């Protein structure tokens, strides 16, 4: 949830820490801070964005330091609660991502032993525990302190007078970036891409000591070797590249993302790549789990399975499933997660494994925690997604679902050939939506004046109504609800008025007639109506106040192009309202707490 960074090397650490923190802001941005060590510690932190911190910071000398950008859980965003957190001697500083579940009892115990706490955070107990156990060996003190701690953590510990960083992880991501006589520690790859593409992923239970030119990692006291990976993402991919916001850049990257994600799976000769785990003949049902936008991909997946595979399928929110969900025997679980770190997904995966089921993970982040738990991982090739609102990662996820279910499907050869052709045409169809945004701009300007909006869809476009509403609400702060079109009359009709626009997705499938009926019902209740419809569907013209046209496409792929249109609609509406599009208030890109 928070972003953490560490640097040790030959250069001045302050500009490096601040630059890397700015790249980690999508993990949290309500406060931030840095600490540098020489013979004493120098800390600068505040409840501001990284850019402001950088402007206000005095020049702190030192070639070893740590930094943090926070998404508050324990204690409001404030200067005191911002990381790094120190011990009583102000010699040990800690940055932490995760949650310490037993922090209250630890705090009571430490207070009774004379420790004085400055903040309301759970993190501060770690600094005091390290102080308590320190007897001249920082690594040992960290190891001992962590034995008292219950919860999740990725930490970097810095101590005055010690030219090293001590790191540890459990259930929160942490990587080490290897440079030339310098090393970086970060919660995420995009933070360090400017400096190196060689990384080591720490595993749960690892404690490491990092110096300028060495790295020693131990697990349960025994030294271990962790493989070095080469990251294929480039530094440019994690930059705005001339776009005003990451979100707009990422929306525009989607034709390429589709191509990249399908490459290797959908060969030109029409043979769909086999996928062993799905082909397992014992599989009798499928369970697809996700959170947020990835849950909407899971819902789209449910419709794809129903149409192509025809075996029982459930799509569930991982956060709900974890409290009631049963996993029938011979169920294949598929988890979908852009970051590969979402806490609810990790819990759901462990439950599935305990129930004896195999788990396929669809994720965008190589080496992420899900990839280590899953029986098989399919990587989407969306590249780094920086904007908090997920766009291109959703697109890549549903591409994987199409491909995966086609490889498993029992549809006839003609249908399969048509679908393969459709997949190959997808990038150009999406490009057409991007190139024809005039009407979307007009509708966005109009929508920006309202405070409540409904999105409706049917069938495979019902999840797209949910996703359209989610995109609009999270970045424009307009209250938006996605509804199955047939359900509007069971309650929400009471809210319809001239002040409540409805955005209706009309697909060219067996839901079209019913949707037209719904549209008429809405119209007669005076709600402004924006319709998203395929080229040539003239019937909608006289019913709608505005029509956004999208290219005609095989109905099973209509979620793809409708999503792109709704992403643009949300983006431009938020822009009209002057919202901080890439970093919406109170949200974080990666949610590593339950």
**Cβ neighbours of residue 68 under 8 Å, at least 6 residues apart?**
2, 3, 4, 5, 21, 32, 33, 34, 45, 82, 83, 84, 95, 96
Minimum Å gap between C-beta 248 and ligand G6P is 16
Minimum Å gap between C-beta 193 and ligand G6P is 19
d(CA 172, CA 176): 14
Q: Which two tokens stand for residue 552?
A: 């005609």
Minimum Å gap between C-beta 349 and ligand G6P is 11
Residue 421: Cβ within 10 Å count: 11
Q: Please tell me which residue in 2, 86, 291, 579 is annotated as part of the active site.
A: 2
Which range binds ligand G6P by CB under 6 A, 73-81, 336-344, 479-487, 551-559?
336-344
Residues from 519 through 538 that contact ligand G6P (CB under 6 A) = none
Q: Does 589 engage in binding with ligand G6P (CB under 6 A)? A: yes
H or E segment and range at residue 336: strand 331-337
Nearer to ligand G6P, 208 or 584 (CB): 584
Minimum Å gap between C-beta 232 and ligand G6P is 19
Binder among 4, 291, 308, 420 for ligand G6P (CB under 6 A): 291
Nearer to ligand G6P, 81 or 342 (CB): 342
Binder among 100, 193, 390, 507 for ligand G6P (CB under 6 A): 390
Residue with tokens 């956004």: 548
Nearer to ligand G6P, 172 or 294 (CB): 294
Q: How many CA atoms lie within 13 A of 426 on its CB side?
A: 35
Residue from 93, 101, 173 nearest 138 by CA: 93
Binder among 176, 388, 416, 515 for ligand G6P (CB under 6 A): 388
Which range binds ligand G6P by CB under 6 A, 333-341, 442-450, 546-554, 572-580?
333-341
Minimum Å gap between C-beta 579 and ligand G6P is 15
Q: Please, is 456 exposed, middle or buried when counting C-beta atoms within 10 Å of its C-beta (0-12, 13-18, 19+)?
A: buried
Residues from 337 through 356 that contact ligand G6P (CB under 6 A) = 337-339, 342, 345
Nearer to ligand G6P, 16 or 365 (CB): 365
Which range binds ligand G6P by CB under 6 A, 28-36, 93-101, 323-331, 385-393?
385-393
**Cβ neighbours of residue 413 under 8 Å, at least 6 residues apart?**
none
Residue 12: Cβ within 10 Å count: 16
Q: Does 97 engage in binding with ligand G6P (CB under 6 A)? A: no
Q: Does 579 engage in binding with ligand G6P (CB under 6 A)? A: no
Nearer to ligand G6P, 172 or 293 (CB): 293
Residues from 42 through 71 that contact ligand G6P (CB under 6 A) = none
Minimum Å gap between C-beta 97 and ligand G6P is 15
Number of residues counted as binding ligand G6P (CB under 6 A): 16
Q: Please tell me which residue in 23, 170, 249, 589 is annotated as part of the active site.
A: 589
Binder among 69, 127, 152, 293 for ligand G6P (CB under 6 A): 293
Minimum Å gap between C-beta 7 and ligand G6P is 26
Radius of gyration of the chain (CA): 25
Q: Does 591 engage in binding with ligand G6P (CB under 6 A)? A: yes
H or E segment and range at residue 14: helix 13-23
Active site residue 32: no
Active site residue 439: no
Give phi and psi for 447, each to the nearest 5: -60, -30
**Cβ neighbours of residue 447 under 8 Å, at least 6 residues apart?**
453, 472, 476, 478, 501, 530, 569, 573
Which range binds ligand G6P by CB under 6 A, 35-43, 98-106, 332-340, 411-419?
332-340
Per-residue exposure over 507-523, b if at least 16 CB sit within 10 Å of its own CB, e if not: bbeebbeebbebbeebb
Q: Does 399 engage in binding with ligand G6P (CB under 6 A)? A: no
Minimum Å gap between C-beta 52 and ligand G6P is 23
Residue from 225, 104, 101, 116 nearest 153 by CA: 101
d(CA 494, CA 482): 16
d(CA 481, CA 489): 14
Binding site for ligand G6P (CB under 6 A): 291-294, 337-339, 342, 345, 388-390, 587, 589-591
Known catalytic residues are: 2, 589
């Amino acid at each position: 949830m928070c972003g953490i960074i560490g640097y040790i090397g030959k250069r001045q650490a302050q500009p490096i820490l601040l630059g890397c923190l700015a790249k980690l802001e999508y993990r949290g941005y309500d406060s931030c801070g840095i600490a540098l060590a020489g013979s004493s510690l120098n800390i600068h932190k505040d409840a501001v964005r990284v850019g402001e911190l950088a402007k206000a910071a005095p020049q702190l000398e030192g070639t070893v330091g740590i930094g943090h950008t926070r998404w508050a859980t324990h204690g409001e965003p404030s200067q005191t609660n911002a990381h790094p957190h120190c011990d009583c001697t102000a010699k040990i500083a800690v940055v932490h991502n995760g949650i310490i579940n037993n922090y209250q009892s630890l705090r009571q115990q430490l207070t009774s032993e004379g420790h004085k706490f400055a903040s309301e955070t759970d993190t501060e107990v770690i600094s005091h525990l390290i102080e308590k156990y320190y007897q001249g060996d920082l690594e040992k003190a960290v190891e001992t302190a962590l034995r008292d701690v219950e919860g999740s953590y990725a930490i970097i510990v810095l101590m005055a007078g010690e030219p090293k960083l001590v790191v540890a992880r459990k259930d929160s991501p942490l990587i080490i970036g290897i440079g030339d006589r310098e090393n970086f520690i970060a919660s995420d790859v995009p933070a360090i891409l400017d400096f190196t593409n060689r990384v080591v992923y720490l595993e749960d239970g690892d404690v490491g000591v990092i110096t300028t030119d060495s790295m020693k990692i131990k697990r349960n006291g025994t030294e271990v070797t962790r493989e070095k990976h080469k990251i294929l993402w480039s530094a440019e991919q994690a930059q705005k590249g001339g776009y005003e916001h990451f979100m707009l850049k990422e929306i525009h990257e989607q034709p390429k993302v589709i191509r990249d994600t399908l490459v290797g799976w959908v060969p030109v000769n029409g043979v769909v790549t086999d996928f062993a785990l799905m082909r397992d003949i014992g599989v009798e049902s499928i369970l697809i789990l996700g959170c947020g936008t990835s849950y909407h991909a899971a819902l789209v997946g449910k419709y794809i399975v129903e149409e192509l595979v025809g075996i029982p399928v459930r799509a569930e929110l991982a956060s709900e499933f974890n409290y009631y969900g049963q996993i029938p025997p011979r169920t294949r679980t598929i988890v979908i997660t852009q970051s590969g770190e979402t806490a609810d997904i990790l819990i759901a995966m462990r439950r599935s494994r305990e129930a004896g089921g195999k788990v396929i993970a669809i994720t965008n982040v190589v080496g992420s925690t899900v990839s280590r738990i899953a029986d098989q991982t399919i990587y989407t090739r969306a590249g780094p997604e920086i904007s908090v609102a997920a766009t291109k990662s959703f697109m890549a996820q549903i591409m994987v679902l199409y491909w995966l279910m086609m490889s498993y499907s029992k549809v006839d050869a003609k249908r399969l050939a048509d679908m393969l052709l459709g997949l190959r045409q997808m990038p150009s169809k999406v490009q057409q939506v991007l190139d024809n945004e005039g009407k979307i701009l007009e509708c966005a300007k109009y929508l920006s004046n309202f405070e409540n909006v409904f999105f409706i869809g049917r069938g495979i476009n019902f999840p797209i109504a949910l996703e359209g509403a989610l995109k609009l609400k999270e970045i424009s702060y307009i209250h938006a609800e996605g509804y199955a079109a047939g359900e509007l009359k069971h309650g929400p009709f009471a809210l319809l008025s001239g002040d409540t626009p409805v955005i209706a997705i009309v697909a060219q499938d067996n839901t079209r007639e019913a949707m037209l009926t719904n549209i008429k019902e809405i119209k007669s209740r005076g709600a402004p109506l924006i319709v998203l419809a395929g080229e040539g569907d003239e019937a909608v013209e006289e019913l709608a106040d505005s029509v956004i046209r999208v290219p005609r496409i095989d109905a099973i792929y209509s979620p793809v192009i409708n999503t792109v249109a709704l992403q643009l609609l949300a983006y431009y509406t938020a822009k009209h309202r002057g919202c901080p599009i890439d970093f919406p208030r109170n949200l974080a890109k990666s949610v590593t707490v339950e």
